[in-house]
Amino acid sequence: MRGWHAVSGERQDLYLQRLAFALLVGGGAHTLVCWLILQWGFFRGGDAAFAALFLLIWGGHLALLGFAGLRFNRRLEDPSMTEPLMVWSTAALLLSVAFVEELRLAVMTFFFAILHQGVFRVRRRRVARAAASAVAGYALVLLHLQLNGALPRPVAEWSQWLLFALITLAMVLLASEISSIRLRLRERNRQLSDLLERIQDLAIRDELTGLYARRHAMELLDKACRQSRRGGFLLAVAFVDLDHFKRINDRHGHQFGDRVLVRFAELTHRYLGEKDIVARLGGEEFLLVMPVIDLAQARDSVTGLLDALRAQRFMAAPALEVTASVGLTVVGQNETPDQVMARADHLLYRAKAGGRDRVMTAGPP
């Protein structure tokens, strides 16, 4: 037993339904076959022994159902209770086999239905353990009966046991193969899930910097604009352009230019808040979307980011000082994302025209 597992109500209901079906249908079929054996006169002890035995067996069935019904199964490593069900059902078969004469193999064939449940739900080692327990238990029953003189045809009985053991071995080998296929499918599904996650990530993020890509950033900006209008807070939008980036690429190479872009992306994570949206629009252009109290707060955040960028040093170009120009504004009450982007772009143009390495700001229209 372990701590309580987080099992949803729907999942718990499914576990309970499976358990009830296995116990009631499987137990009912087992009881019916043994009752027929009783009618044919092959059940030792007669009606009294049959009633006492199946009262015990059904008491165990109901106890398992009650255990799951009270949700104690959530404390088990496997809340579906597949292995406890297999153990108890096998024990019930072996108990009944001790009272059956001549037709023991007919009763033990129910074990294959028990084994089938475990093939798809428990590890193959546990399936093999259950099979070994059933074969050994069947042998112990026969040995006990033989030692007590209650096995009139030992050769036939042991031949049936051998047949049961061989069929069980074949099923275990089949279960092992099925388990291997299941593990391969699980691994393949994990790989497909990772690939899907990778594709989704590429759809919303820039591969180089890890920042949001332009298309997804515009979706987030549209959502943020609507939230801003409902929530009563200001939303600052900034266009950032790294100054003379083409010159950096030409002088130091594109790989170095990529390192500059990645460094800027890292700085945004360090100097901007968790709720801020940062995206790479393309090339050396970036978009910042920041919930703020006022425009001054947004300007302070952007200025701090640019100061940090200016202070960065690169081993391949120690004398290089990377700067950026920024157009910064706040979203108007009825302004669309395209409109605010156009205003931020215009402010960025003014920042460049004014000498670069600066922030040009404007309030809402």
Residues that are catalytic: 284
Beta-carbon contacts of residue 82 (< 8 Å; ≥ 6 apart) = 117, 118, 121, 122
Residue-level length of the chain: 365
Query: 3-class SS at 236?
Result: strand
For the record, the structure tokens of 210 come out as 């890890």
The CA distance from 262 to 279, in Å, is 12
Burial class (CB in 10 A: 0-12, 13-18, 19+), 98: middle
112 closest CA partner among 166, 61, 58, 157: 166
Distance in angstroms (rounded) separating the CA atoms of residues 136 and 139 = 5
CB atoms within 10 A of CB 311: 10
CA atoms within 13 A on the CB side of 252: 19
Q: First vs last Cα of the chain: how many Å apart?
A: 65
What secondary structure letter does DSSP report for 26?
A: I
- Enter the tokens of residue 110: 């129910």
| 3-state SS assignment for residue 312 | coil
How many Å apart are CA 265 and CA 246, to the nearest integer?
18
For residues 195 and 183, what is the distance between their CA atoms, to the nearest angstrom? 18
